[in-house]
Amino acid sequence: MIFDALIAPFIEFEFMRRALVGCLALSLAAGPVGTFLMLRRMSLFGDAMAHTILPGAALGYLAFGLSLTAMTIGGLATGLLVVLLAGLVTRATRLREDASIAGFYLISLAIGVSIVSLKGSNVDLLRVLFGSILALDDPAMMLLAAMSTGTLLVLALIFRPLVLECVDPAFLRSVSRAGGPAHLIFLALVVTTLVSGFNALGTLLSVGMMMLPAIAARFWAVELTGIIFAATLIGLVSSLCGLILSFHTGLPSGPAIILVAGALYLLSLSFGPQGGLILKLLPQRHLEA
Amino acid sequence: MTAALLTLTDMTLGYDRHPAVHHVSGRIERGSLTAIIGPNGAGKSTLLKGIAGAMSPLSGTLARTPGTRIAYLPQSAALDRSFPISLFDLVAAGLWHRTGAFGGLSHKDRHAVHEAFERVGLQGFERRTLDALSGGQLQRALFARLILQNADLILLDEPLAAIDTKTSADLLAMIEVWHAQGRTIIAVLHDMQIVRDHFPQSLLLARECVAHGATVDVLTENNLGRARQMIEAFDEEAHICAQESAS
């Protein structure tokens, strides 16, 4: 029974195996990146960047048809361009980062929607918005895995400056010039993670893979390392359970995975040992010291 | 004969061309212990930022002896205390000059971090997160980080603000240890009694340098009164500085 429900789909169908590998690779990068976004109070930044990716993905689609690789590279290009432009504007003018990014992502979104509505059909738009992990081909899967690997390696390289830039930017400035570049590189990693995610989950929901596990993880661990591990684990579990749910119910894979992640978030929020609601409601005697 | 560690020549610092520190000249001797004092808005923090190299002069120059290692402690409000790292990690960042962005902590480094915790009286607090500390404990931790930075020039911006008497006394004792070790220290302070008791040198600032020298000569009623009068309002329509256009 359990075998039929949980294991058989992956043994019988190659597309399920592929989808699983793709989603697991994605979760490995999305957890850590999402954790930093949450801790930097940039939880909604992922949403803005997800919209930014649209015109590039649409252009890739128009030029090369339904090629995940072309759409990925297109999305990556527009995403990185917007991060870079917004970064430059933040440094050169009095606009704060959120404002300058809002400016560029809205322009980018309008261009993207224009391209899709002029040249494509509504089906295409739905595809870009909601993704289709079950149609992941070999090159796209390799690209996704490569991007996740690269993201993790680069994050490891900038880890220390990035943490200090979050906690005590003034101190970091006094000992090193690495803070600004670390922040910009981190934003680029957000873009790569989102782009890897949009193949599988669509531009709208790929944010969910970054943010939901990270936010849920806050209720399981106190220190940064623990939160990152918890977020990654929650992401992995969501991917696996989401695909199984999608297989048995006929739900699209993207929403199914994010719904599982959402359920895990609600569970963590209620029962998490670090500040979960239930624990807060229980009467607790205070300590001596 | 002592050597100048810092030489300020006609230095102006400011924001958007409006000066906050105006035409200041002076020398900071190696090994000196100097308090920067002055009314609110006098440019004390700005001057410290300029010395730390966090902002560049609008005009004039600031010459540092090459190879001077600087440690700069800004007003503590800049810290994000909700970020979930341990106090150990925050303090160990003081070893950046040894580890850089990538290097690990050696056994000896870890020992040095624990020793710094002991010296500021925070042993046992290593695994606490930053949101579980009082203001005084956090300031002690930041002093522990300064110890590890092992700097020649230590810049402190209001290190004793909102700190109780016991902690103040401990932190002042630490400043005196650094002074005895031959380090150069510049601190922005408000408490005149502390300046009189602990700081041999003072610089009285009111956007311009009102007086600089031995604390007993600087902290006179006359000087302090002049400093209060010299703080003018920030003028949106300010003309280009006459001293600037003359040169």
Shortest Cα–Cα distance, B138 to chain A (Å): 13
Backbone phi, psi, residue A255, to 5°: -60, -35
Q: Is A31 helix (H, G, I), strand (E, B) or coil?
A: helix
Q: Is the dihedral of CA A159, A164, A167, A173 positive or negative?
A: negative
Q: How far apart are CA A26 and CA A209, in angstroms?
A: 8
pLDDT digits (tens, 9 = 90+) for B58-110: 888 888 888 889 999 988 667 889 999 999 999 999 999 888 888 889 999 99
Instruction: State both tokens at A38.
Output: 């949450």
Residue that the structure tokens 């193949």 belong to: A199
Contact B54 A171 (CB under 8 A): no
Residue that the structure tokens 């261009």 belong to: A111
Reported as type and span, the H/E element at residue B6 is strand B4-15
pLDDT at B247 over 60: no
> A59: exposed, middle or buried (C-beta count within 10 Å: 0-12, 13-18, 19+)?
buried
Q: Is B123 helix (H, G, I), strand (E, B) or coil?
A: coil
Contact A168 B93 (CB under 8 A): yes
Instruction: State both tokens at A121.
Output: 């059909």
Q: Which of A158, A160, A175 best probes binding to B when mutated, by most B CB atoms within 10 angstroms?
A: A175
Beta-strand relationship, B201-206 and B208-214? antiparallel
| Helix boundaries (H) for chain A | 2, 8-12, 14-39, 45-52, 54-64, 68-92, 97-119, 122-130, 138-167, 169-175, 179-217, 224-249, 253-271, 277-281
Instruction: State both tokens at B138.
Output: 């956090």
Residue that the structure tokens 């749910």 belong to: A245
Contact B102 A178 (CB under 8 A): no
Share of chain B above pLDDT 70, in %: 93
> A26: exposed, middle or buried (C-beta count within 10 Å: 0-12, 13-18, 19+)?
buried
Contact A175 B97 (CB under 8 A): yes
Tell me the sheet residues that pair with B9: B61
Confidence of residue B178 (pLDDT cuts 50, 70, 90): very high
Confidence of residue A60 (pLDDT cuts 50, 70, 90): confident
What pLDDT is recorded for position B77?
Answer: 64
pLDDT at B234 over 60: no
In the Cβ-directed half-sphere of A88, how many Cα atoms lie within 13 Å?
A: 6
Query: Which residues in B lie closer than 8 A to residue A161 (C-beta atoms)?
Result: 101
What pLDDT is recorded for position A250?
Answer: 86
pLDDT at A157 over 60: yes
- Amino acid present at A213: P
pLDDT at A131 over 70: no
Instruction: State both tokens at B197.
Output: 């008791």
The four Cα atoms B158, B161, B167, B169 give a dihedral, to 10 degrees, of 60
Query: Which residues in A lie closer than 8 A to residue B50 (C-beta atoms)?
Result: none
Overall average pLDDT of the B176-197 stretch:
94
Contact (CB, 8 A) for A34 and A210: yes
Q: How far apart are CA B9 and CA A151, in angstroms?
A: 48
Strand order in the sheet with B153-157: B70-73, B153-157, B184-188, B33-37, B201-206, B208-214
Confidence of residue A136 (pLDDT cuts 50, 70, 90): confident
Query: Which residues in A lie closer than 8 A to residue B102 (C-beta atoms)?
Result: 157, 160
Of A160, A224, A227, nearest to B101 by CB-CB distance is A160
Q: What is the mean pLDDT of chain B?
A: 87
Contact (CB, 8 A) for A210 and A42: no
- Amino acid present at B78: A
Long-range contacts of residues B136-139, Cβ cutoff 8 Å, at least 24 apart: B136/B163, B136/B164, B136/B167, B138/B76, B138/B79, B138/B81, B139/B76, B139/B163, B139/B167, B139/B171
Contact (CB, 8 A) for A136 and A197: no
pLDDT digits (tens, 9 = 90+) for A88-99: 898 888 888 889
pLDDT digits (tens, 9 = 90+) for A250-286: 888 888 999 999 999 999 999 999 888 988 888 777 7
Of A167, A170, A173, nearest to B90 by CB-CB distance is A167
Q: How far apart are CA B61 and CA A153, in angstroms?
A: 42
The four Cα atoms A244, A16, A60, A182 give a dihedral, to 10 degrees, of 70
Q: How far apart are CA B211 and CA B197, in angstroms?
A: 18
pTM of the full predicted structure?
A: 0.87
Measured CA distances, B199 to A50, A82, B94, B188 (Å): 56, 51, 25, 11
What pLDDT is recorded for position B1?
Answer: 44
Contact (CB, 8 A) for B94 and B116: yes
The four Cα atoms A236, A242, A243, A244 give a dihedral, to 10 degrees, of 110
